[in-house]
Amino acid sequence: MSKTSQYVSKPSNAKGYIEWTEEENQIWSELYARQIDLLEGRACQQYMHGIDLLNMSVNKVPQLPDINAVLQETTGWQTAEVPALIPFGEFFRLLANKQFPVATFIRTREEFDYLQEPDIFHEIFGHCPLLTNPAFAHFTHTYGKLGLAASKEDRIFLARLYWFTVEFGLMKTAEGLRIYGGGILSSPGETIYALESDKPERVAFDPMTVLRTPYRIDIMQPIYYVLEQAGDLDALADMDIMGMVQKAKALGLFEPKFPPKEKLAG
């Protein structure tokens, strides 16, 4: 996780509401309109149902108390306002307490298409709809509890499991391949690339394989892991994930499917 960010989260008032500027609301509106059109027929049904349940504002940045009311009623989750970047330990602590961290800033126009830090659009639009689904909520809660108790080394392996599921997961459906990973769902480029490009590999999901697969956050993914069905994540949550982490550590990582990141000159 990066240690610095150009962004600063905005504080809420006593009622939990945030004063967004006209420009910030306009950026949200444009991001939402662009992405929601792309997701029809590409996002999984559970995500689209969550979009309907949340009924989030199209024209302005949603307020977290409104999101919280729906999450509480459906799965008992809440959002939690956080700074632009938080330590892994705090991330796991929040998930273990059924609180999904949301950095309360929105990207600038200069980074309209892509930014490395998760902003409020990524967190609310990309992730919160699936937190209304019991199976996804159960997996995320279990993941948080495991991460909170894990060693620093084990957390690195757990991060791969999160990356290839919650962030960049695909699943099979009766209608064809669909997206459930929030990192794809909030990115127009990756939405098309993940399903329609002939460049990435799409491989059946196997937790041991996933735990041993390196990834980079700043490129289109060279490989996606595909669930047979949405319930697979629910079942995964009840497996001996930490036992698999120990086996993965013993076996070691696979060779990366991407070139090393270029170092800046100087």
3-state secondary structure of 15: coil
pTM (2 d.p.): 0.94
Model pLDDT, residue 265: 43
Catalytic-labelled residue, pool 123, 186, 187, 190: 186
Does the active-site annotation cover 186? yes
Lowest mean pLDDT among 23-32, 64-73, 197-206, 257-266: 257-266
C-alpha–C-alpha distance, residues 68 and 70, integer Å: 5
Give me 120's structure tokens: 């409020």
The per-residue pLDDT for 264 is 42
- pLDDT tens digits along 122-161: 999 999 999 999 999 999 999 999 999 999 999 999 999 9
Nearest-5° angle of CA 95, CA 97, CA 99? Answer: 60
The active-site residue out of 9, 123, 141, 167 is 167
pLDDT for 193-238, tens place per residue?
Answer: 999 999 999 999 999 999 999 999 999 999 999 999 989 999 999 9
Judged against a pLDDT cut of 90, whether residue 4 lies above it is answered with no
**Quick one: average pLDDT of 70-75?**
98
Q: For position 114, what pLDDT does the model report?
A: 86
Cα–Cα nearest to 158, from 222, 227, 95: 95
Whether 166 shows a pLDDT value over 80: the answer reads yes
Residue-level pLDDT at 149: 98
pLDDT classification of 103: cutoffs 50, 70, 90: very high
Calculate mean pLDDT across residues 164-192: 97
Q: Which of 9, 24, 123, 127 is catalytic?
A: 127
Instruction: Give me the percent of the chain exceeding a pLDDT of 70.
Output: 97
The region of weakest confidence among 1-15, 114-128, 138-152, 174-188 is: 1-15
Q: Which residue has the higher pLDDT, 1 or 197?
A: 197
Residue 43 near residue 57, CB atoms below 8 Å: no
Count CA atoms within 13 Å of residue 238 on its CB side: 5
Contacts of 242 (CB under 8 A, 6+ apart): 146, 150, 154
Please, what is the average pLDDT of the chain?
95
Indicate whether 98 pLDDT > 90.
Answer: yes
Beta strand 176-179 with 170-173 is: antiparallel
pLDDT of 115 reads 86
Q: Which of 9, 24, 122, 123 is catalytic?
A: 122
Q: Please state, as a whole number, how many other Cβ atoms lie within 10 Å of the Cβ of residue 253.
A: 13
* pLDDT bracket for residue 2 (50, 70, 90): very low
Q: What is the mean pLDDT of residues 114-122?
A: 92
Q: Identify the pLDDT of residue 85.
A: 87
Q: Is 122 a catalytic residue?
A: yes
